[in-house]
């Protein structure tokens, strides 16, 4: 008897845990803790996926309650008791068999119809007046071009709130996948093909994103940020990005850094407007205006810039930017120059 009682208590505790744990986890989940959660939509596209998820979860709960209810009812109603005969067995009941064939088909309809509608909705053409951004995936960073505004930047995409943004997705090398969870679904970035995706952000703020397709050694280091800002702030940002780069005094640390930039080979891969034409690596004309470097994996400060320049492949495995064996003086003057490029 004691063993039975203990067993029952244990079962009761387990049952409560099963009920309470998901609640605790759900309450504890915030987008601060999980900046790449898909459960805090911030665009029309992301909301349409969220509504679809809500619909699916609703039907899943209905099915769960019905099936588990029937199961529990059966177990209790027909449980063994001393002296009780076996319940009547049912075989080949036509009505039952027709019912449990039709019911799942109807339920699948409830799920399939909104799913297909959402696919059509999110694949539709963008509204007129959408801001066009050409996104180019690189191993392992993101390039953002605003062809009509004459701006090229990297890893940090700026867009105005409440305006549709049409991204045209291309790659410089292998398949990547463009994904800002708060803005909507993933979309592959495929060689020799331009995919497109559009969304309208409904909240200002900074949102995390990353490549969602295994694309080589530093796939996990191919991150990006989305800055959704007011139309005024966006216009100001565009103006600042269109300005020519800062021209440092040749005797200052930044000036020495510019000389080093021209000397050690940076020019072959990086564009600084009016200084160098390289297009292999990120455009650095206004690199100091960005908050991160190296595929948005490090903060853009003197310490991280210096460590990056010393040995890029050590900081980001497989990095195409080689170790240029820079002297500490070259590193510190290059850092000064890059930090002056606001």
Interface ranges with ligand CUA (CB under 6 A): 137, 140, 176, 211, 213-215, 219, 222
User: Shortest distance, CB of residue 304 to ligand CUA, whole angstroms?
Assistant: 21
User: Which of 52, 211 has the CB closer to ligand CUA?
Assistant: 211
Q: In the structure encoding, which two tokens stand for residue 3, read together?
A: 């063993």
User: Which of 176, 315 has the CB closer to ligand CUA?
Assistant: 176
Strands (DSSP E) along 155-194, which ranges?
A: 156-160, 164-171, 176-178, 187-189
User: Shortest distance, CB of residue 212 to ligand CUA, whole angstroms?
Assistant: 7
Please tell me the distance from the alpha carbon of residue 319 to that of residue 333, in angstroms, as a whole number: 22
The residue assigned the tokens 């093909």 is 193
Which candidate, 178, 260, 168, places its Cα nearest to that of 211? Answer: 178
- Could you tell me if 64 and 75 are in contact, meaning their C-beta atoms sit under 8 angstroms apart? no
User: Which of 8, 214 has the CB closer to ligand CUA?
Assistant: 214
User: Shortest distance, CB of residue 38 to ligand CUA, whole angstroms?
Assistant: 18
User: Which of 161, 169 has the CB closer to ligand CUA?
Assistant: 169
Please tell me the distance from the alpha carbon of residue 316 to that of residue 4, in angstroms, as a whole number: 59
Q: Which residues of 286-309 are buried (b: 16+ CB within 10 A; e: fewer)?
A: bbbebebbbbbbbebeeebbbbbb
User: Which of 107, 172 has the CB closer to ligand CUA?
Assistant: 172
| Residues in CB range of 73: below 8 A, 6 or more apart | none
User: Shortest distance, CB of residue 140 to ligand CUA, whole angstroms?
Assistant: 6
User: Which of 41, 137 has the CB closer to ligand CUA?
Assistant: 137
Which candidate, 290, 271, 162, 161, places its Cα nearest to that of 223? Answer: 290
User: Which of 160, 312 has the CB closer to ligand CUA?
Assistant: 312
β-pairing, 131-138 vs 164-171, is parallel
Helix orientation angle between 44-77 and 94-123, rounded to the nearest 10 degrees: 170
User: Which of 264, 320 has the CB closer to ligand CUA?
Assistant: 320
User: Shortest distance, CB of residue 179 to ligand CUA, whole angstroms?
Assistant: 10
Please tell me the distance from the alpha carbon of residue 251 to that of residue 264, in angstroms, as a whole number: 18
User: Shortest distance, CB of residue 168 to ligand CUA, whole angstroms?
Assistant: 17
User: Shortest distance, CB of residue 141 to ligand CUA, whole angstroms?
Assistant: 9
Radius of gyration for the alpha carbons in the chain, expressed in angstroms and rounded:
28
User: Shortest distance, CB of residue 137 to ligand CUA, whole angstroms?
Assistant: 6
- Could you tell me if 31 and 181 are in contact, meaning their C-beta atoms sit under 8 angstroms apart? no
User: Shortest distance, CB of residue 89 to ligand CUA, whole angstroms?
Assistant: 56
Contacts 24+ apart (CB under 8 A), 184-187: 184/41, 184/43, 184/45, 184/46, 184/48, 184/49, 184/122, 185/45, 185/49, 185/122, 186/212, 186/213
User: Which of 131, 222 has the CB closer to ligand CUA?
Assistant: 222
């Amino acid at each position: 008897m004691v063993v039975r009682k203990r067993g029952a208590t244990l079962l009761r505790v387990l049952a409560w845990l099963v009920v309470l744990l998901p609640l605790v986890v759900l309450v504890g989940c915030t987008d601060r803790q999980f900046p790449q959660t898909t459960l805090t939509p911030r665009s029309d596209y992301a909301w349409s996926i969220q509504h679809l998820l809500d619909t699916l979860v609703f039907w899943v709960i209905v099915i769960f309650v019905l099936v588990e209810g029937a199961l529990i009812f059966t177990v209790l109603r027909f449980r063994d008791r001393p002296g009780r005969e076996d319940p009547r067995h049912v075989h080949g009941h036509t009505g039952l068999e027709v019912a449990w064939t039709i019911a799942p088909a109807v339920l699948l309809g409830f799920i399939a119809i909104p799913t297909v509608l959402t696919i059509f909705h999110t694949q539709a053409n963008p509204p007129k007046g959408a801001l066009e951004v050409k996104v180019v995936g690189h191993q392992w960073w993101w390039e953002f071009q605003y062809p009509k505004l004459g701006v090229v930047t990297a890893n940090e995409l700026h867009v105005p709130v409440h305006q549709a943004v049409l991204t045209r997705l291309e790659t410089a090398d292998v398949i990547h996948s463009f994904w800002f969870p708060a803005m909507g679904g993933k979309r592959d970035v495929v060689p020799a093909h331009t995919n497109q995706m559009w969304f309208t952000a409904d909240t200002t703020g900074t949102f995390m994103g990353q490549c969602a397709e295994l694309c080589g050694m530093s796939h996990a280091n191919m991150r990006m940020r989305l800055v959704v800002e007011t139309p005024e702030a966006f216009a100001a940002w565009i103006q600042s990005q269109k300005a020519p780069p800062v021209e440092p005094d040749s005797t200052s640390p930044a000036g020495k850094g510019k000389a080093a930039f021209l000397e050690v080979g940076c020019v072959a891969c990086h564009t600084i407007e009016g200084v160098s034409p390289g297009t292999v690596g990120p455009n650095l004309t206004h690199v100091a205006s960005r908050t991160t470097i190296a595929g948005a994996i490090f903060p853009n400060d003197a310490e991280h810039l210096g460590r990056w320049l010393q040995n890029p492949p050590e900081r980001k495995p497989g990095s195409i930017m080689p170790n240029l064996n820079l002297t500490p003086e070259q590193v510190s003057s290059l850092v000064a120059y890059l930090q002056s490029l606001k």
